[in-house]
């Protein structure tokens, strides 16, 4: 795995829960810029990965970094205490392809973390999955299917759609793990993760960060088999 540069920051707390999740993020900054932005906002992540593949560790894994914010996934609320957070540099906020060096470093780091904490595949998710009304990262270009092929997270087999009889979008999203309080936001986050072609690219990064999902978004019925296949893989 790539050598890790240690540059610890003061924005963390003592962890009180077992690590059960791995959260992937992105930011439209270089690692150096990201450190300044996080410091200004009194935030942090355990790791930052630059476009050149460099890995920076900024918080010890034994501590709780401030990366997830108000969040929910499956049975967990407030994922900071339960998770490791990784930030990837992405000028396009995950809307353009990540670099090979960056992905290679991320794969190696994720596999090490997952193995150490025995994190279940269903709990390897993006910031947009756990906070669908607030965050769009790691973006539509994040290669979730490739990561799943490396043992990081889950992907679907479309043939599994026939193995689950449920057809209600909200119930299927809840089975996967989404907070469906805002159903449109949860459905759009699902599309970002699993049917990225259905998500529009936005070159205005500032707007992307404030208009996280289309307020009138309705889940396209054509993708119901994908949603069902995912629910089958994620069900408890």
Q: What CA–CA distance (Å, rounded) separates 16 from 84?
A: 13
Structure confidence by residue, pLDDT tens digits, 187-213:
999 999 999 999 999 999 999 999 999
Q: What CA–CA distance (Å, rounded) separates 101 from 2?
A: 10
Pairing of the two strands 47-49 and 83-89: parallel
**Which residues are the active-site residues?**
87
pLDDT level of residue 156 (50, 70, 90 thresholds): very high
User: Quick count: other Cβ atoms within 10 Å of Cβ 143?
Assistant: 16
pLDDT, position 2? 77
The H or E element containing residue 148 is helix 144-149
Closest CA to 213 of 224, 200, 226, 223: 200
Please determine, for residue 15, whether its predicted confidence score (pLDDT) is greater than 90.
Answer: yes
User: Mind giving me the DSSP string for 67-134?
Assistant: -S-S-EETTEESGGGGEEEEEEE-TTTTSSPPPHHHHHHHHHHHHHHHHHHT--GGGEEEHHHH-TTT
Here the tokens at position 1 are 């795995």
pLDDT, position 111? 98
For residue 62, the 8-state DSSP code is T
Sign of CA dihedral 144, 147, 152, 158: positive
Domain ranges, ordered by start, for the chain: 4-234
Sequence-separated (6 or more) residues with CB below 8 Å from residue 82? 17, 18, 19, 20, 21, 76
Structure confidence by residue, pLDDT tens digits, 17-34:
999 999 999 999 999 999
Structure confidence by residue, pLDDT tens digits, 96-147:
999 999 999 999 999 999 999 999 999 999 999 999 999 999 999 999 999 9
How many Å is the Cα radius of gyration of the chain? 17
Contact criterion met (CB below 8 Å) for 213 and 189: yes
Q: What is the mean pLDDT of the chain?
A: 96
CATH number for 4-234: choose from 3.40.50.300, 3.40.80.10, 3.20.20.70, 3.10.450.200.
3.40.80.10
pLDDT, position 1? 66
pLDDT level of residue 3 (50, 70, 90 thresholds): confident
Closest CA to 69 of 43, 33, 39: 43
pLDDT level of residue 236 (50, 70, 90 thresholds): confident
Closest CA to 88 of 47, 43, 136: 47
Q: What CA–CA distance (Å, rounded) separates 43 from 19?
A: 19
């Amino acid at each position: 795995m790539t050598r890790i540069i240690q540059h610890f920051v003061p924005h963390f707390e003592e962890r009180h829960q077992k690590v059960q999740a791995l959260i992937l993020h992105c930011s439209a900054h270089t690692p150096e810029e990201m450190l300044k932005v996080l410091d200004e906002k009194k935030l942090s992540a355990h790791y930052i990965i630059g476009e050149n593949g460099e890995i920076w560790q900024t918080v010890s894994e034994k501590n709780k970094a401030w990366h997830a914010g108000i969040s929910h996934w499956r049975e967990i609320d407030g994922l900071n205490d339960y998770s490791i957070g990784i930030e990837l540099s992405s000028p396009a906020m995950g809307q353009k392809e990540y670099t090979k060096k960056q992905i290679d470093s991320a794969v190696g780091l994720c596999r090490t973390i997952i193995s150490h904490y025995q994190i279940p595949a269903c709990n390897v998710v993006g910031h947009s999955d756990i906070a669908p009304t607030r965050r769009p990262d790691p973006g539509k270009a994040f290669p979730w299917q490739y990561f799943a092929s490396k043992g990081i997270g889950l992907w679907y087999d479309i043939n599994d759609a026939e193995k689950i009889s449920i057809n209600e979008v909200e119930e299927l999203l809840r089975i996967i793990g989404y907070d469906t309080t805002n159903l449109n936001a949860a459905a759009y986050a699902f599309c970002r993760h699993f049917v990225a072609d259905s998500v529009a690219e936005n070159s205005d990064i500032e707007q992307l960060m404030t208009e996280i999902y289309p307020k009138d978004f309705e889940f396209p019925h054509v993708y119901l088999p994908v949603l069902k296949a995912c629910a089958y893989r994620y069900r408890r």
